[in-house]
């Protein structure tokens, strides 16, 4: 039944996207690009900016640095800094309350994926009285939302390039995806200055998150637009720079490269979506509050093993792309070499292979949700219950 449903969704997705306009992207990149974005917002005629962020970034002064481009202007700025990891509908409502009190005409997200996702839904609620729970699914935000901009302070989620947001139920903690063309950014700033000194653990988790996006795009059955091109570019950059960014947090070149990789990977998944890694990782985040990038990093090698035969050709190509092939290797051996390189990178940046939080008693619950979510994606091999259970057994400590 799941295969039939997935086939139907695949055909429907191709039909719907064939006639839909492609997304547009505008990014300011490099040192000082946050000031360029602020200038762009001013030139666009906006006057009242709601900044959506988290308290830690404000306390560290990162938000103030990101907003320096507004200095001396007549821009009126308000803040909602209540975003926490895995934002909830309650946080969206709180952000909306601040927006209405301020009468903001634009929303600027500053932070990681949680802040950007929350900002998207605050902007969507600003122009609609509908319960956002009704938007869970793909393409259900069809109304025009308040203009959106983003300054990501991590390099991994790619939310600054996508038209989707992940939201958590505050009671059940289950995660849902909300998407729509209006949730895309008007522009973003990929400013490495704001990411210098990012803690190694966050650098690692977000970098592996970006790698997961790119790899899932390359092995996806759906080849649409520039998805494969952008994903391969991201993968090459990540293998060249993540270790440097992890070990040398003040390496501006590595930070800028990782910001670009995250953005490229975001563009890639914006065209074909993610896959089975995310279907499992979302449940680990919802059930155990395991950070999303960390969950992806643990799950990724095992999902690649699960579909190694079906994804042999693209995985072998990726092995050549990052230079881990040897003369005379078969395609199967090359594919395994790439999986080995993913594991080596994961270990090099200090991400554990397992988590003691994951309990066998919860497997049935997690498996059911993961398989249901995976039905809406287009991986090389459909995730089934036996496969999901085996993957969980490999990462449970």
C-alpha span between 188 and 26 (Å, rounded): 7
Residue 395 is encoded by which pair of tokens?
């990462």
pLDDT at 1: 66
Band of pLDDT at residue 3, cut at 50, 70 and 90: confident
Question: Which tens digit of pLDDT belongs to each residue from 367-394?
Answer: 999 999 999 999 999 999 999 999 999 9
How confident is the model over 304-340, as pLDDT tens digits? 999 999 999 999 999 999 999 999 999 999 999 999 9
Using CA of residue 156, residue 319, residue 317, residue 351, what is the dihedral sign?
negative
Q: Which residues partner with 77 through β-bridges?
A: 49
The arithmetic mean of pLDDT across residues 212-229, rounded, is 96
Is there a contact between 394 and 302 (Cβ–Cβ < 8 Å)? yes
List strand residue ranges (DSSP E) for the chain, in order: 27-29, 48-52, 76-80, 106-111, 148-152, 164-168, 175-179, 187-190
Distance CA 64, CA 83 (A): 17
Given pLDDT bands bounded at 50, 70 and 90, which one contains residue 397?
Answer: confident
Task: Using alpha carbons, select from 67, 33, 35, 85 the residue that is nearest to residue 192.
Answer: 33
Q: Report yes or no: 90 and 167 within 8 Å, Cβ to Cβ.
A: no
Tokens matching residue 98: 């601040």
Residue 104 has pLDDT above 90, yes or no: yes
What percent of the chain has a predicted confidence (pLDDT) above 90? Answer: 90
Mean pLDDT calculated for residue range 225-238: 97
| Residues near 96 by beta carbon (within 8 Å), at least 6 away in sequence | 122, 125, 126
- Flag whether pLDDT at 20 surpasses 90: no
Name residue, tokens 């070990």. Answer: 247
pLDDT digits (tens, 9 = 90+) for 56-71: 999 999 999 999 999 9
Segment 129-154 mean pLDDT: 94
**Residue 220: HSE in the Cβ half-sphere, 13 Å Cα cutoff:** 32
Domain boundaries, the chain: 22-194, 200-395
CATH, domain 200-395, list 1.20.1090.10, 2.60.40.150, 3.40.390.30, 3.30.70.1230: 1.20.1090.10
| pLDDT, tens only, 163-182 | 999 999 888 888 889 999 89
Residue with tokens 């890639």: 268
- pTM across the whole model: 0.95
Least trusted range by pLDDT, from 110-114, 137-141, 153-157, 253-257:
137-141
Q: What is the pLDDT of residues 274-305, one digit of tens each?
A: 999 999 999 999 999 999 999 999 999 999 99
**Which residue pairs, CB below 8 angstroms and at least 24 apart, start in 360-368?**
360/392, 360/393, 360/396, 362/287, 363/389, 363/392, 363/393, 365/287, 366/280, 366/283, 366/284, 366/287, 366/392, 367/392
pLDDT of residue 137: 86
Q: Mean pLDDT score of the chain, rounded to an integer?
A: 95
Distance CA 68, CA 361 (A): 50
What is the edge-to-edge ordering of all strands in the sheet holding 187-190?
A: 27-29, 187-190, 148-152, 106-111, 48-52, 76-80
**What architecture (CATH level 2) is domain 22-194?**
3-Layer(aba) Sandwich (3.40)
pLDDT at 172: 84
Q: Which residue has the tokens 């039905």?
A: 375
Q: Which residue has the higher pLDDT, 333 or 23?
A: 333
Mean pLDDT over 158-163 rounds to: 96
Report pLDDT for 19. Answer: 58
Cα–Cα distance between 292 and 285 in angstroms, integer?
A: 6
pLDDT of amino acid 151: 98
Distance CA 270, CA 208 (A): 18
């Amino acid at each position: 039944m799941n295969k039939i449903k997935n086939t139907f969704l695949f055909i429907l997705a191709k039909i719907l996207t064939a006639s839909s306009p492609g997304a547009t992207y505008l990014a300011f990149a490099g040192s000082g690009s946050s000031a360029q974005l602020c200038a762009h917002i001013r030139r666009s005629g906006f006057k009242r900016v709601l900044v959506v962020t988290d308290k830690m970034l404000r306390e560290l002064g990162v938000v103030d640095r990101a907003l320096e481009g507004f200095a001396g202007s007549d821009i009126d700025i308000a803040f909602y800094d209540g975003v926490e990891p895995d934002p909830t509908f309650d946080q969206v409502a709180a952000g909306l309350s601040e927006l209405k009190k301020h009468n903001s005409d634009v929303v600027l997200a500053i932070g990681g994926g949680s802040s950007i996702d929350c900002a998207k839904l605050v902007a969507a609620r600003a122009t609609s009285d509908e319960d956002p729970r009704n938007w869970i699914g793909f393409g259900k935000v069809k109304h025009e939302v308040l203009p959106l901009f983003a300054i990501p302070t991590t390099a991994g989620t790619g939310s600054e390039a996508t038209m989707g947001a992940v939201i958590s139920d505050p009671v059940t903690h289950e995660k849902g995806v909300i998407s729509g063309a209006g949730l895309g950014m008007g522009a973003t700033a990929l400013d490495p200055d704001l990411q210098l000194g990012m803690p190694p653990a966050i650098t690692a988790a977000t970098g592996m998150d970006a790698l997961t996006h790119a790899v899932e795009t390359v092995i996806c059955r759906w080849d649409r637009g520039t998805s494969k091109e952008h994903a391969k570019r991201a993968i090459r950059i990540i293998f060249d720079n993540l270790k440097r960014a992890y070990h040398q947090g003040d390496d501006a070149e590595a930070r800028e490269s990782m910001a670009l990789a995250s953005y490229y990977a975001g563009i890639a998944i914006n065209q074909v979506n993610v896959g089975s890694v995310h279907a499992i990782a979302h449940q680990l985040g919802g059930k155990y509050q395991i950070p999303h990038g960390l969950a992806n990093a643990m799950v990724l090698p095992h999902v690649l093993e699960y579909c190694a035969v079906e994804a042999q050709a693209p995985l072998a190509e990726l092995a050549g792309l990052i230079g881990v092939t040897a003369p005379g290797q078969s395609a199967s051996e090359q594919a395994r070499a790439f999986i080995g390189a993913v594991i080596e990178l994961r270990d090099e940046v200090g991400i554990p292979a397992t988590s003691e939080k994951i309990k066998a008693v919860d497997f049935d619950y997690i498996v059911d949700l993961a398989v249901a979510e995976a039905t809406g994606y287009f991986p090389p091999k459909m995730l089934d219950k036996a496969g999901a259970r085996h993957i969980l057994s490999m990462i449970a400590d």
